[in-house]
Structure 1
Amino acid sequence: MNYVGIDVSQKELVVVNTQGKVGPAKSFENTTTGHQEIIRLLAKLKGETQICLEATGVYHFDLAVALSRANDLEVMVINPKAAHNFAQALMKRSKTDTIDAATLAAYCERMPFEAWQRPADEVIALRAMGRRIAALNKLKTQTKNQRHALKATLDTPDIVIEQTEELVNVLEKQVQAHRDSALELIRQHESLLCAFTLIIGIKGIAEASAIQLLAELLVLPQDMSAKQWVAYAGLDPRHYESGSSVAKKPRISKAGNKYLRQALYMPALVATRYEPKLPPLN
Structure 2
Amino acid sequence: MKKTVIGIDVSSRTLDLSVIEHKQVHYATIENKVKSIVKFLKAYDDTKTIIAMENTGRYNWYIYEALEQFSFEVYVISPLHLSKSLGLVRGKNDKIDALRICQFVQKNKAELTAWQPTARNIQCLKVLLSERNSRIKTKRQLLARQNDYKLMKTLGLDKELLALNKQQVKALEKQIKKIEHKINDIIESDQKLKNQQQLIKTIPGVGNVLSWTIIGKTEGFSKFTNPRKFACFAGVVPFEYQSGSSIYRKPKLSMFADKELKSILHLAAMSAIRLDNDLRKYYVKKVKEGKNKMSVLNAVRNKIIHRIFAIIKNQTAYKNNLVLS
Taking structure 1 as the reference length, the TM-score comes to: 0.73
Q: CA deviation at 1:217?
A: 2.2
The aligned counterpart of 2:5 is 4
**Does 2:135 correspond to 1:141?**
no
Trace 1:26-175 onto structure 2 (pairs within 5 A). 34=32, 39=37, 42-43=40-41, 45-48=43-46, 50-53=49-52, 59=55, 66-70=62-66, 71-72=69-70, 74-77=72-75, 97=97, 98-102=99-103, 104=105, 116-151=115-150, 154-155=153-154, 156-175=157-176
Q: CA deviation at 1:253?
A: 1.2
Q: Which amino acid aligns with 1:123?
A: I
Q: What residue ranges of structure 1 are gaps of 5+ in the alignment?
A: 88-92
The aligned counterpart of 1:17 is 19
Q: Which amino acid aligns with 2:169?
A: V
Q: Report how many residues are paired.
A: 263
Q: Which amino acid aligns with 1:211?
A: W
2:105 and 2:204 map into 1 onto residues whose CA distance is 43
1:8 and 1:252 map into 2 onto residues whose CA distance is 31
Q: Which amino acid aligns with 2:182?
A: S
Q: For 1:22-73, what per-residue CA distance to the aligned partner results, in whole angstroms no more than 9, with x for missing partners? A: 3235579xxxx7475982573362534633437x7xx266577643432235
> Aligned with 1:279: secondary structure?
helix
What is the identity percentage for the equivalent residue pairs of Structure 1 and Structure 2?
A: 18
Q: 1:75 to 1:139 in 2, by over 3 A?
A: farther
Aligned CA-pair RMSD:
4.2
The aligned counterpart of 1:276 is 280
Q: Is the 8 A contact 1:74 1:115 kept in 2?
A: no
Q: For 1:238-280, what per-residue CA distance to the aligned partner results, in whole angstroms no more than 9, with x for missing partners? A: 4456897875554321313233223222112212332325425
2:107 and 2:241 map into 1 onto residues whose CA distance is 36
Q: CA deviation at 1:178?
A: 0.3
> Aligned with 2:40: secondary structure?
helix
Q: Is the 8 A contact 1:64 1:75 kept in 2?
A: no
1:26 and 1:235 map into 2 onto residues whose CA distance is 42
* Bigger Rg, which one: 2
Q: 1:44 to 1:169 in 2, by over 3 A?
A: same
2:167 and 2:63 map into 1 onto residues whose CA distance is 41
Q: CA deviation at 1:171?
A: 0.9
Q: Is the 8 A contact 1:16 1:26 kept in 2?
A: yes
1:199 and 1:267 map into 2 onto residues whose CA distance is 12
Q: For 1:111-151, what per-residue CA distance to the aligned partner results, in whole angstroms no more than 9, with x for missing partners? A: 8x986322211011101111111111111111100012224
Q: For 1:140-184, what per-residue CA distance to the aligned partner results, in whole angstroms no more than 9, with x for missing partners? A: 111100012224663343110100011111111111110011001
Q: Is the 8 A contact 1:14 1:101 kept in 2?
A: no
Q: 1:261 to 1:44 in 2, by over 3 A?
A: same
2:166 and 2:103 map into 1 onto residues whose CA distance is 53
Q: Is the 8 A contact 1:67 1:73 kept in 2?
A: no
Q: 1:37 to 1:247 in 2, by over 3 A?
A: farther
More helix by share: 2
Q: Which amino acid aligns with 1:178?
A: I
> Aligned with 1:24: secondary structure?
strand
Q: Is the 8 A contact 2:9 2:15 kept in 1?
A: yes
> Aligned with 2:52: secondary structure?
strand
**Does 2:267 correspond to 1:263?**
no
Q: Which amino acid aligns with 1:230?
A: A
Q: Is the 8 A contact 2:10 2:60 kept in 1?
A: no
Q: 1:264 to 1:114 in 2, by over 3 A?
A: closer
The aligned counterpart of 1:90 is none
2:247 and 2:236 map into 1 onto residues whose CA distance is 23
